Amino acid sequence: MNSITILIVDDHTLIRETWSFILNADSRFNVIAACGSGEEAVELAKQFRPHIVLMDINLPGINGIEATALIRKYAPGTKIVAISLHTQPAFVQKIMQNGASGYVTKNSGRQEMVKAIEEIFFGKKYICNNIKEIIAEQMMFNDGQQKGIHSLTTREIEIISLIKKGDTSKEIAASLYLSTKTVEVHRYNILKKLKLKNSVSLVEYVNKNV
């Protein structure tokens, strides 16, 4: 069998270089390109038509969820594995609805990432053990909040992830190339959907549930 060709998408150079080193050391894989933005990912996928894209979610400009949908549109033979720090199942749901075939957290080990790539290459879906455990716990101890966060849009989920990091609305706006007013509108909509009273309760909710 020829090597599985891979495109790596992450906005951290060290992570791209580390993944490239690990995967190229295995004869089963061939990293043919790497980039740090969603826009670049779409263009490289169109050009090289890799078998697999390892896609981070938090990217400047077009985020990983949006880039996944575009890659599936313009390079339908390419399959996407989302690799992210986020362990909230809402992120998994959003990116897989947009065409990803699998999800692996950055807490997963090398063997699990390799397993995800191979299974998805052969037409299967893959969700890492970490996420499976969280989903199982939520199913057993569902307190009604899961429905609320699942109602959020891709952009609202992305803003929540930045709130968790402690970013202000101004900092979030700069990261996502939005106006501060637009971010404030998103924050208002998030409060309404999650039935929270103010920004303090939103921060508490994010720290507890995301």
User: What is the domain count for the chain?
Assistant: 2
Same domain, yes or no: 161 and 68: no
Same domain, yes or no: 171 and 86: no
The residue ranking higher by pLDDT, 156 or 13, is 13
**How far apart (Å, rounded) are the C-alpha atoms in residues 134 and 140?**
10
Q: Does 139 map to a domain?
A: no
- Percentage of the chain beyond pLDDT 70 is 90
Mean pLDDT of the 109-133 span = 91
Same domain, yes or no: 30 and 117: yes
Beta bridge partners of 34: 8
In this predicted structure, which of 71-80, 104-113, 142-151, 200-209 has the lowest mean pLDDT?
Answer: 142-151
> pTM for this one?
0.69
**How far apart (Å, rounded) are the C-alpha atoms in residues 126 and 180?**
37
Same domain, yes or no: 113 and 149: no
134-189 pLDDT per residue, tens: 766 655 555 444 456 667 777 888 888 888 778 889 998 888 888 888 898 888 88
Same domain, yes or no: 157 and 61: no
Q: Does 140 map to a domain?
A: no
Burial (CB count <10 Å: 0-12, 13-18, 19+), residue 203 = middle
85-94 pLDDT per residue, tens: 877 777 788 8
Same domain, yes or no: 39 and 75: yes
Phi/psi zone of residue 177: left (φ > 0), alpha (ψ -120 to 50 degrees), beta? left
Give the pLDDT band of residue 71 (cuts 50, 70, 90).
very high
Residue 70: CB partners within 8 Å, gap ≥ 6? 38, 42, 62
Q: Which helix (H) or strand (E) holds 82?
A: strand 79-84
Supply the range of the domain harboring residue 9: 4-134
Same domain, yes or no: 11 and 91: yes
Same domain, yes or no: 44 and 106: yes
The amino acid at residue 71 is: I
**How far apart (Å, rounded) are the C-alpha atoms in residues 179 and 169?**
9
Predicted pLDDT at 13: 95
CA–centroid distance for 5 within its chain: 20
